Amino acid sequence: MSPTQWDFPVELCCRPMAFVTLTGLDVVYNAVHRAVWDAFCANRRADRVPISFKVLPGDHEYPKCRPKRTSYEWYIPKGILKTGWMNKHLNLVPALVVVFYELDWDEPQWKEKQSECATRVEIVRQSLQGRNTKVAVVLIQKKTPLPPGEDVIASERAAALCNACELSGKSLFVLPHTDHLVGYIIRLENAFYEHAQTYYYTEIRRVKSHKEFLNKTTHQLLFVRHQFKIAFFSELKQDTQNALKNYRTAYNLVHELRAHETNILEIKTMAGFINYKICRLCFQHNTPLDAIAQFRKHIDLCKKKIGSAELSFEHAAWMSKQFQAFGDLFDEAIKLGLTAIQTQNPGFYYQQAAYYAQERKQLAKALCHHEPSVTYPSPDPLETQTGVLDFYGQRSWRQGILSFDLSDPEKEKAGILAVQLKERSVVHSEIIITLLSNAVAQFKKYKCPRMKSHLMVQMGEEYYYAKDYTKALKLLDYVMCDYRSEGWWTLLTSILTTALKCSYLMAQLKDYITYSLELLGRASTLKDDQKSRIEKNLINVLMNESPDPEPDCDILAVKTAQKLWADRISLAGSNVFTIGVQDFVPFVQCKAKFHAPSFHVDVPVQFDIYLKADCPHPIRFSKLCVSFNNQEYNQFCVIEEASKASEVLENLTQGKMCLVPGKTRKFLFKFVAKTEDVGKKIEITSVDLVLGNEAGRCVVLSWQGGGGDAASAQEALQASRSFKRRPKLAAGEVHWDSVVGQASTMIISRVPNISVHLRHDPPALTNEMYCLLVTVESHEKTPIRDVKLTAGLKPGQDANLTQKTHVTLHGTELCDESYPALLTDIPVGDLHPGEQLEKMLYVRCGTVGSRMFLVYVSYLINTTIEEKEIICKCHKDETVTIETVFPFDVAVKFVSTKFEHLERVYADIPFLLMTDVLSASPWALTVVSSELRLAPSMTPVDQLESQLDKVVLQTGESASECFCLRCPSTGNVEGGVATGHYIISWKRTSATENIPAISTVITLPHVIVENIPLHVNADLPSFGRVRESLPVKYHLQNKTDLVQDVEVSVEPSDAFMFSGLKQIRLRILPGTEQEMLYNFYPLMAGYQQLPSLNINLLRFPNFTNQLLRRFIPTSIFVKPQGRLVDDASIAAA
């Protein structure tokens, strides 16, 4: 029994194609023939007709045709389908035999050639005696033929040749051997194809014709056979629809056969074949659902047809093959463009095939465990005369026997024994693993990671059974993490148990220890007795002894393993195993917790390591050490106990290094942080727990960071959600879930013991040298050294502020742009306890607004902690927010000489500039000086002396100055004429002598200058007196380049009599001046209206009296008449 017994025959699985043989071609020595043959068979693309060609010699013997049966009455078939039948029609019996013959129409020896050709055809016909196979002749010609009908000789000779060969005209072809060979060949092919189809059609008809002779009782098998043949011929004819129909009928007929233990295998085999054909055609017709439905039906029908119980493994093997074949068909269809889905893909069929293969293995194991004394029966009942079976699915020792009774029980027994013994040599695991890996590949494609993992576990287990432990471990190890990460502990435990067995059998120390650790842990669902056993083994291994074998292992393998373990013991070498636990769930849990999120450098850093064991018995460890990101601390954080290996289990409960199951153990560590680490984070990078003795074997459990393994994150989350009351524990014990890890801490500088005070008078005034007095007082108990001051604008504020803020230590000079905004590390010396020092800082703020200033004092001090002297750098900082304001507001206005507000000034006519300085500072200001710096366009009328020198302004007070200016005519300037700058030099009244005054420059506003045609000014005394003459002189100046006609009139007034020209018309030349003299005589005392002067310019109607009034006085104060000593009025009184 070959391992491929269950495989489908090749002829079943291939695509049937019409079989055509070519004769008369010498493909070895004749180049022309070779080219013809190549054109037929090389590079056959899918668009060529489906024909399988074969070159045979002309005298080839085709299979003999059996004489036609005239009656089926006495015929009893011996089986369903002969094993050779399919092959016969695929490869042996042609649908068409083509005779190639080199003959041109103008052949000189035509007669001879013609008869030779006829002979050849005759020979072929002879060997096809009784078959319906068609014969065709192809003449290979050197010349290109003329179009049909033109070559008279050709048509004559063709007719003669047909006659001689007894061929119809349709079976004679001409193949000119010219350039277009392939084109001719394709045309020939199509013609052959038609002939072949006709042949298969007649074959179908022939088989159908038998039907009427059959009867239901004796010819049941023939019904199936004929139906199958019809379907197969239909396939050869490429009529797949009819083929499918006929196969379906055949399938139904197979199941109508009377099944018995003796023929069940034959029925199943045929059913399997037909089912395969149906499914294949369904996929080919792109009706995959039909294929699946057929397959399901097939399986449901056949599942229970087990047959002989002693050979039940055969049924499993057959089932497995059915699924595998369907999986292959499905997969092939997918490759050709079918789309599968997650829940319906070939993977499921491979999986099921693997399942049946496993069942086959189980059954074979149960049925084929013969004693070694049982020998293979002789003569071999599985041998047949021809080496092959006559019919598919029959038993070799009773071929062709249709009776359901076993005629020869002894022979039957020997046959079954032979089959069973053969089955023993089958490598089942290999079959299973191949199927599983096929399924894995499929599930990977269809997004089924868990299914894939599951199958890989099965593969691993199968490798384990096959004793390939390395591969088993590799697979199991690969999928373990999937189950671990999803928390399927039952499944993980089962995988781990197998893995542990593998590692035991290979004596793989590290793997053995790793799996033991996890099987002892809380994720394992093993019973306590199992855990105890594993723990004992683990301790044995750590004490350099062999562990006990794992249960349910192969005895032989255990023996090998024990030898391997013994070798391990004698071997020295790498006996320290470091196991990173973050990827699995070991039986010791660990949490690290710093006591605080930060420590001052002058305080020892303290942290706890919490450990908890989940194994059934207490366990002792030999060393616990902690590693940090700064490795210098590692040396301080080690707990070690020199214990002999043998003590691992002794003296358990009292030991410091002993973990009692379920109890949380706390270990306190303490170390002094380095001063360089101030401001840095100290992190626990790993916690290492050493089990066993370093001299013997030991395991280092290494937790990364602050402990925690693959399961602890989820557990911590659950614990944090839980509000269950935790049971009370004895004093000093902690509940594991209540411990929250803290794997890092900050080292911060020592708390400074100095005070820093700032004295200043806010707010600061723009641009002033603002004084900050810093007082540092030491409250330390020991002298402090190296006191340094960093002061200035606090970094991190608006960048513009940095540009506009300057800090200096020297207040005597104004600082400029070059000064920094922050002075760093100004050494200020040492301080003894209780001492204090002061430092003056000057800040100049160029813009208003608030700024944050930082004063940072650092110093060094020696301190002692834990009997260790360290130099601590301490610092204290103060920040202060200072508002900067303008010291004063300056208002500027232009007025006329009569103090009337001016919108604009008139060229060449004096006006007044008034400045008003209003103090906005809360502190008294001293105006050191003020200065008016005129623009070139302005000229002063008199001296520009400061009127504000040394004036002190309190808050809200204001100081005004007045300057008389004149603006020469400039023409019309857009936007006015620049006036100049006003500079005020000032300081705080409280500031000391040596503080420089600050100059604030105010740009004066532009003023609009307007020309006027005529300027009038009046000369008159400052007051008049009743009845005393008051001379008034009016100057009329022509400011234009034109001669002006002026009408002047003076209106009378009640308060005055006057003499002079009352009304006059005169001309004033350009640039000249006309004087008008009047003598007023006041009549009444008091503030009196002067007789008004009216001027009318004929050229400038705009020049009104209103404008005139601006320049000349309109009133004057008249004093009463003074009393003289010898006044007449007195005398009169």
Partner 1 sequence: MAVCVAVIAKENYPLYIRSVPTESELKFHYMVHTSLDVVDEKISAMGKALVDQRELYLGLLYPTEDYKVYGYVTNSKVKFVMVVDSSNTALRDNEIRSMFRKLHNSYTDVMCNPFYNPGDRIQSRAFDSMVTSMMVQVC
Residues at the contact surface with partner 1, assessed by CB under 8 A: 299, 342-343, 348, 352, 355, 447-451, 454, 457, 483, 486-488, 490-491, 494, 714, 717-718, 721-724
Q: Least CB distance from residue 480 to partner 1, whole Å?
A: 14
* Token representation of residue 99: 């005779």
Cβ neighbours of residue 431 closer than 8 Å, sequence gap 6 or more: 320, 357
Instruction: Tell me whether residue 151 or residue 715 sits nearer to partner 1 (CB atom).
Output: 715
Q: Least CB distance from residue 303 to partner 1, whole Å?
A: 8
Q: Provide the 3-class DSSP secondary structure of residue 66.
A: coil
Instruction: Tell me whether residue 708 or residue 763 sits nearer to partner 1 (CB atom).
Output: 708
Q: Least CB distance from residue 735 to partner 1, whole Å?
A: 15
Q: Least CB distance from residue 498 to partner 1, whole Å?
A: 11
Q: Least CB distance from residue 527 to partner 1, whole Å?
A: 14
Rounded CA gap, 929 and 931, in Å?
A: 7
Cβ count within 10 A of residue 824: 11
Number of residues in the chain: 1133
Instruction: Tell me whether residue 449 or residue 662 sits nearer to partner 1 (CB atom).
Output: 449
Instruction: Tell me whether residue 468 or residue 482 sits nearer to partner 1 (CB atom).
Output: 482
Rounded CA gap, 457 and 460, in Å?
A: 5
Q: Are 1024 and 1010 in contact, with CB atoms under 8 Å apart?
A: no
Rounded CA gap, 201 and 705, in Å?
A: 81
Q: How far is residue 127 from each of residues 58, 60, 117, 588, 919, measured CA to CA in Å?
A: 10, 7, 16, 87, 137
Q: Are 523 and 492 in contact, with CB atoms under 8 Å apart?
A: yes
Rounded CA gap, 849 and 830, in Å?
A: 36
Q: Least CB distance from residue 384 to partner 1, whole Å?
A: 35
Q: Least CB distance from residue 522 to partner 1, whole Å?
A: 13
* Spatial CA neighbour of 700 closest among 580, 597, 587: 580
Instruction: Tell me whether residue 97 or residue 440 sits nearer to partner 1 (CB atom).
Output: 440
Cβ count within 10 A of residue 450: 13
Q: Least CB distance from residue 328 to partner 1, whole Å?
A: 18
| Beta bridge partners of residue 840, listed in sequence order | 773
Q: Least CB distance from residue 460 to partner 1, whole Å?
A: 13
Instruction: Tell me whether residue 714 or residue 1104 sits nearer to partner 1 (CB atom).
Output: 714
Q: Least CB distance from residue 352 to partner 1, whole Å?
A: 6
Rounded CA gap, 390 and 398, in Å?
A: 11
Instruction: Tell me whether residue 343 or residue 994 sits nearer to partner 1 (CB atom).
Output: 343
Instruction: Tell me whether residue 152 or residue 293 sits nearer to partner 1 (CB atom).
Output: 293
* Burial (CB count within 10 angstroms: exposed 0-12, middle 13-18, buried 19+), residue 513: buried
Q: At what angle do helices 469-486 and 449-465 cross, to 10 degrees?
A: 150
Instruction: Tell me whether residue 458 or residue 1044 sits nearer to partner 1 (CB atom).
Output: 458
Give the pairing type, strands 764-765 and 822-831: unpaired
Instruction: Tell me whether residue 348 or residue 1103 sits nearer to partner 1 (CB atom).
Output: 348
| Beta bridge partners of residue 134, listed in sequence order | 96
Q: Are 773 and 788 in contact, with CB atoms under 8 Å apart?
A: no
Q: Least CB distance from residue 711 to partner 1, whole Å?
A: 10
Q: Least CB distance from residue 272 to partner 1, whole Å?
A: 17
Instruction: Tell me whether residue 29 or residue 723 sits nearer to partner 1 (CB atom).
Output: 723
Distance, C-alpha 716 to centroid of its chain: 27
Cis-peptide, bond into residue 3, ω within 30° of zero: no
Q: Least CB distance from residue 339 to partner 1, whole Å?
A: 15
Q: Least CB distance from residue 571 to partner 1, whole Å?
A: 37
Question: Ramachandran region of residue 24, left (φ > 0), alpha (ψ -120 to 50) or beta?
Answer: left
Instruction: Tell me whether residue 719 or residue 758 sits nearer to partner 1 (CB atom).
Output: 719
Distance, C-alpha 562 to centroid of its chain: 49
Give the pairing type, strands 888-896 and 911-919: antiparallel
Instruction: Tell me whether residue 430 or residue 737 sits nearer to partner 1 (CB atom).
Output: 737
Q: Are 192 and 17 in contact, with CB atoms under 8 Å apart?
A: no
Rounded CA gap, 1037 and 1057, in Å?
A: 26
Write the secondary structure of 648-696 as one string of H (helix), E (strand) and C (coil): HHCCCCCCCCEECECCEEEEEEEECCCHHHCCCEEEEEEEEEEEECCCC
Rounded CA gap, 882 and 807, in Å?
A: 14
Cβ count within 10 A of residue 1133: 6
Place of tokens 């008199």: 942
Q: At what angle do helices 409-424 and 346-367 cross, to 10 degrees?
A: 120
Place of tokens 């562990």: 547
Q: Least CB distance from residue 300 to partner 1, whole Å?
A: 10
Q: Least CB distance from residue 343 to partner 1, whole Å?
A: 5
Amino acid at 832: H
Instruction: Tell me whether residue 359 or residue 777 sits nearer to partner 1 (CB atom).
Output: 359
Q: Least CB distance from residue 269 to partner 1, whole Å?
A: 21
Q: Least CB distance from residue 487 to partner 1, whole Å?
A: 3
Question: Ramachandran region of residue 975, left (φ > 0), alpha (ψ -120 to 50) or beta?
Answer: left
Instruction: Tell me whether residue 355 or residue 1103 sits nearer to partner 1 (CB atom).
Output: 355
Q: Provide the 3-class DSSP secondary structure of residue 844.
A: strand
Instruction: Tell me whether residue 273 or residue 443 sits nearer to partner 1 (CB atom).
Output: 443
Rounded CA gap, 979 and 448, in Å?
A: 89
Instruction: Tell me whether residue 491 or residue 700 sits nearer to partner 1 (CB atom).
Output: 491
Instruction: Tell me whether residue 312 or residue 1088 sits nearer to partner 1 (CB atom).
Output: 312
* Token representation of residue 498: 């197998």
| Beta bridge partners of residue 664, listed in sequence order | 612
